[in-house]
Structure formats: C-alpha cells, structure tokens
Structure 1
Amino acid sequence: MLKHIHMKKSFIILLSFFAVACSKKMEIDTPDFNVALDPAKLVSDTFTYRLGDTTRFKFSGSAGNIAFYSGEPGKRYDGRASANKLGKITLGFSSKSEFGTQTNTLQVLATNKLAGLDSAAVVNAAWTNITSRGAVATNATVVPFGTADLTDLVANENDSLFIAFKYSGVTGTTQRTWTITEFIVNNVLPEKTVSLSSLSADVAYWTRYGNVWSPANGRWTASATDLKITGGGGSAASNTSWIITKPLYIGRVPGDVSTGIKSINEPDKEEYAFVYPSPGVYKATFVAFNHTLDEQKSVVRELIIKVTP
C-alpha cells in the first residue's frame, strides 16, 4: 500500500516538473555580431572602392542567421516594408504590322474604370485612346512605341489601371497582322522601378474579347514573348478583337528583399564577398538574428560604401 502511494506521489511530481518545463519559453541571446571592412578604404565614414573591386565584409562574433541588404535598388533595408506609392506610370512596347494596306487597325487604350469583365462592360467602358502617345508600326519593320507617361489616367496610389489593344479588320481586302513585343508597364519611383505588367509575367492573365473571329485564328493570342493577331484574307468577315491586361494595381510596392547568407544550421562565417555592379553610394546592411518559435533577437550593422568608375 505504501509503495503504491509513493509511486503515485512520484508520478505527480514528475507531471508537475514537466508542466513547469513546458510552460517556460526557450531563452535566446542577442547575437554578438559585428562587421568590418578594410580600414584603408575608409574616407570620412565612407568606404570607397573602384568598380569591379570585391568588397570583403569581415565578420566577428556569432549569429544563427544573417541577411544582407546590398543597398541597391530593391535591396535596401530601409525599403523592406511594403507600401502604396505612386510614382510615374509608364507604358512601353514594340509593334510590327504585316500584310495588307488597311490603316488605323490598331488602337491602344487605357482606363481605370471597368464595371465588369464581361464583353459589354469592356466595350462600353470609358477608355482613353493613348495610341498617339507613342509610335506604332506601319509595316513589318518593328517600331518601339517609346515610353508613354500614363500617370494622368489614375487618381492616386490606390487606383488600378487596364491597358487594351483593340484590333479592327474590315472585309474586302487583306486584313493586317499585328505583333506586340516588349510590353511593359512600370511604376517609376525615385528609389526603384516596380514592374506592374510584362509579357513574361502575365502571359496567363490577358483576357480576349471579340464580335467575330473569322478565320479562327483571327483573334489575339498571348505568349511569354508577344501578343499577336492574324488578319484574314479579303473575303474574311470584318473583325473587332480586344485583348486586355489584368487589373494593374499601380501603387502596390513590394518590400525590398535581402539575401540570406547564413542560416542556423550552418557554421559561423568569417566573411562575405560582394561585387557592386555599378558606381554609386550604397548603405550595406547586415541583419543578424537568433530566434525561436516564441521570439527573435537581432542586431543591425550598417556601412556606407561608395563605388567609383
């Protein structure tokens, strides 16, 4: 009987110890981590290198994880948080027009107001004709449109924008064939350029509309390299065909990104070598951190680097 009571008390004590141990958070230390560069390169708080030089960041101390922001556009520690910012909205593409002699068969349109994505809503939307804001082809010679400023077509950084190519071919003579390449829409900010749409990124997101597709290939097609519509012969029916981008949320700016140079399962590093690709002044930032599921402790080390031609 006494043995049974003793075993019961021992079991209760073990459970209590286990409960206390599980309720206590794992302790972590703030990283003891520092970064240094060649002191011979230091001039007035700035480390100066020539273009093509290797910048060797020397490490001391220890950290579980290390992330590196080079200071280049899109890789700045100060820009790591996403935001809504409106810069200059630009459109660029190239075009060529083959076969036939029909004129005014391509219009480039834009709107920030679409009531819906059905064909009636698209056709009846308040489109702005922006064809004249650049150059379009008149024959098989590829013509760059140029860089058109579309900022006036949006209200603020929370607005959206649609770009459309509208094709018109008329029965009676050979209809034109159009090819659009190098399509790009950007939000150009002082600190970086954000791509809003490109052929390679958005190949699956174009939407097509039309009243008559005769012949069967008389409709826009989208690929990772071009948009194309093939006109019919002289006996083909008149054809109006649209192709429209996805909604472009013009002010959405993703946060800048870092490069992970050490994870917790790797040994400590003595240095990190990096070559800046172009002249400029950069704030190189290292974030060293230790973490558990419950918390994270980190240190930030920054150095100003000037790269000369």
Structure 2
Amino acid sequence: MKKTLLILLSFCAAACSKKLQVDAPDFNVSLDPSRQVADTFVYRLGDSTRFLFRGTVGNIAFYSGEAGKRYDSRVITYKLGKIMLSFSSKSEFGAQTNTLQVLATNKIPGTDSASMVNAAWKDISSRGKLATSSTVVAFGGADLTDLVSNANDSLFIALKYTGVTGTTQRTWTITDFTVNNVLADRSVVLTSLSNDVAYWTRFGNVWNPANGRWTPSASDLKITGGNETAASNTSWIITKPLYVGRIAPDVSAGVKSINEPDKQEYVYAYPTPGVYRATFVAYNHTLDEEKTTIREFTIKVIP
C-alpha cells in the first residue's frame, strides 16, 4: 500500500509541476513587392497599405509607427521637452486691481491646506498677459521648463484670487487652460480642463459656492466676486501634480484575438505623409508562458 501511495504522489508532483507549453507563432507578413524601394515600401497619401498574412497565430497587435502608436514606445518613458502653460482670462465687474496671481512650484511638502498654500510658490503672472476687463485675453505660451529639474520632476500650477471688502470684487473666468510637455515629435498633455475637472484642489477663507470659491468645470475655472459688503476673500485653486516628463505608453491596434479565426490580411491607410516603422506583434500564450514573433516594415507615405 505504501509503495502504491508513493508512486501516486510522485506522479501527481510531476504532473502538477509541469508548465503549460506554448508554440512560437508561425507568422509572416508581406507587402506588394512593386512598392518596394530598397528596404522601404512607398505609398501615396490615400493609398491603402495592404499587409498579407501567412501562418497560424493566436493574437496579433499592430503598431502603425505614428506618434502615440510606436512599438519602441510601448512602455512608460520619461522625456522632458518644453513645459508650456497657456490659457485665456476675462475679469468682470468692479475696479479692484491685482486680484489674480498665477503661481507655480515643484515642491509641496504635504496635502493639507497649510502645506499647500505656504509652499515655495513662484509668481509667474508676468510671464503672460491677464485680462483687465470683460474682453478675453490670451495669456500666451509661457515656458515653465526652468521650474523643474529633470524629466522625473513634478509641477503644480495655482491660481490665487484676492478680493477685498469695501468695493465690488472682480469675477474671473479662465478658459482653455492647458499645460503641455512639447517634444520634437509630439505634444503630451499634462493637464487640461476637460481631462481634469475632478482633480483640482481648492482652499480659501470664504466657502460660499456662489461668490468666493473657485468652481472648476470642463470648460472653465470661475470665481465670482462679492459686492462691496462681502468679506475679504483669498481663494486658491491648484492643479493635480503634473509629472512633467512622463509619457504614457503608445498603443497598438488589435488585429486578431485567440478566439478569432486566422486572418489573411490587414489594411491600413496612413492619414499624413511621413516615414513610419510599422510593427506586427504576433503572440501565443498560456497562463505560464508567452512566445512572440515580430515583423517590421518601413513605410513611406508621399503626398
């Protein structure tokens, strides 16, 4: 009995420890040879690039080589270009002056109100133009690159409002607020009104939402000043931390999944002239293992 039990246990141990095996993809791609010039395939704008498939594979992903769709950029990377702030403003009602400051810092020691408002803020209001009336004024593209140390740094932008009791306080509206990391081949959005409406932090000594507190929306940031009897008001609105050099991974297009039959081709039309590195990633996988085959082509699209 003991001998039988030992044999069964040994068999179970061997079977349970065995990994699920997977075969390497049998996958090839070809293009129209009449389009080939040296190692490049040339197409005119508006042409369809027809990739012909051979073989059997579970999954296929396609990176076209356009900005945001490059195989070599499929993981998070960090690269610092120019950090550019832009927005437009208008200032209505009353005659109080110097009621809005634009501030920036790359160091906030904590998330409580005292830590945030007492951080080492730099006044960057003079780097652009602010409205003086109800006429909308573009701040202009303000370069903030000097405020960060490297691609791994973060940056915060704040709008600080001050209204004083005794006369009508100003009402400010901020539109088209964006901060971008401008690189040679793309512009990475670090924050915008439409993307980050839920991520602003607000502090102030007056909390009446109707007049005294910044209100963010997908289209603007607004603070409504009180009348001449309203209390003096200092109100802040601060962006989320902007990780200035972080570039999100580029994305692929799904061409085939494991539960679909084999495909004979994939057709893609490049929208603009340029030179692109088109990459197909074919892979088979189990819970234990993945094997990949990569096929790449240089595509040139001319006007």
Q: Same fold judged by TM-score > 0.5?
A: yes
1:177 matched residue in structure 2: 171
Instruction: Report the CA distance shift for 1:215/1:181 in structure 2 as closer, same or farther (over 3 A).
Output: closer
Change (3 A) 1:53 1:213: same
Give the CA deviation at 1:297: 0.8
Structure 2 residue 182 is the aligned partner of structure 1 residue 188? yes
Using the size of structure 1 for normalisation, the TM-score is 0.90
Which of residues 47, 68, 78 in structure 1 aligns to 2:62? 68
1:305 and 2:293 are equivalent in the alignment: no
Deviations 1:203-251 (A, max 9, x none): 2211111123468532101122211101112222221111001121222
Please give the alpha-carbon distance, in whole angstroms, between the structure 2 residues aligned to 1:19 and 1:213.
67
For the residues of structure 1 that align with 2:249 and 2:91, how far apart are their CA atoms? 40
Counterpart Cα distance in 2 of 1:188 and 1:171: 42
1:108·1:130 contact (CA, 8 Å) conserved in 2?
yes
| 1:40 matches 2:37 | no
Aligned counterpart, 2:220: 226
- Give me the whole-angstrom Cα distance separating, in 2, the residues matched to 1:97 and 1:36: 61
Q: Where does the alignment leave 5 or more consecutive residues of structure 2 unmatched?
A: none
Aligned 1:258-297 pairs, distance under 5 A: 258-297=252-291
C-alpha displacement of 1:154: 0.7
Partner of 1:87: 81
Aligned residue for 1:27? 21
- Aligned mates of 2:261, 2:278 — CA distance in 1: 22
Partners of 2:8 and 2:112 lie apart in 1 by 68
Distance 2:276 2:247 in 1: 21
1:245 counterpart residue number: 239
Q: Distance in 1 between matches of 2:99 and 2:266?
A: 56
1:168 is matched with 162
Q: Trace 1:102-251 onto structure 2 (pairs within 5 A).
A: 102-213=96-207, 216-251=210-245
Q: Following TM superposition, by how much is the alpha carbon of 1:38 offset from its aligned partner in structure 2, in angstroms?
A: 1.8
Do the aligned residues in 1 keep the contact of 2:209 with 2:215 (CA within 8 Å)?
no
Q: Distance in 2 between matches of 1:29 and 1:166?
A: 61
Judging changes above 3 Å, is the alpha-carbon distance between structure 1 residues 123 and 19 closer, same or farther for their aligned structure 2 residues? closer
Helix, strand or coil for the counterpart of 2:146? helix
